[in-house]
Copies of this chain bind each other. A is one copy, B any other.
């Protein structure tokens, strides 16, 4: 009977996964508005009522999808901080991880912003809100590591900034701002920016130089850092981003 119980239980768990997968697809293909309980129920072969057994409302459902999606970002950040090299190289690795995530999943990135809107979060049950905060914290703490390391190693001396956390916040804001602007459809080319996608990296190094984070851009071959990241740590992602001459089609 314990088996039977958990059989049904497992069925329910599995269904939750199915709902999430189908919702993810709907969200990706048709946006928040395209996620309809009706359509979702049809795809999952259950009724609308059943979905409400798993998620308190549509917002909760979409937040769950985003949370699920964001684990890929966590994984990328985790990989980034394993980079064997200077602390500043690790920060560059994180920036590239962030950039890769957004480049590979622009809609996921945008969806995440939707759920950050207050209109959205207001409708979220407390539990989901907590999960979201924990995810933010996880990411924040991962970025903290190389910064703390740099301070400990004397590669970074805090002058203006009062704490490591402030530096992390700035780095985050900086990358986020760039990636956000890139995913809006503001035509930067028309505004005179030749290669908008490349600006983030120049900009990051400018900021890191401003911090005095050693070694400075001029004193180190960060181009080869980039290449190593491209060919080693993030090889699969770079390949996915720029598929080699595909034989299909």
Contact = CB atoms under 8 A, between A and B. Distances in A.
Contacts of A199: 161, 166, 169-170, 173
A140 interface: yes
Contact of A160 (B114, B116, B206): B206
Nearest to A141: B191
A192 B116 CA distance: 20
A246 interface: no
Contact of A181 (B160, B166, B173, B194): B173
Contacts of A33: 119
Given A119-B31, A170-B206, A206-B211, A192 B177 contact: no
A9 interface: no
Given A199-B166, A210-B208, A181 B176 contact: yes
Interface size class of A (residues with CB under 8 A): 35 or more
A136 B186 contact: yes
B207 A206 contact: yes
A194 B163 contact: yes
A52 interface: no
Contacts of A180: 173, 176-177, 180
Contacts of A185: 118, 121
Interface string A178-195: 101100111110011110
Contacts of A193: 163, 165-166, 169
Contacts of A113: 113, 117
A238 interface: no
A223 B136 CA distance: 33
A122 to B, nearest CB: 8
Interface in A108-135: 110, 113-114, 116-119, 121, 133
Contacts of A32: 119
8 contacts: A110-B117, A160-B202, A161-B199, A164-B192, A175-B177, A177-B177, A206-B210, A206-B211
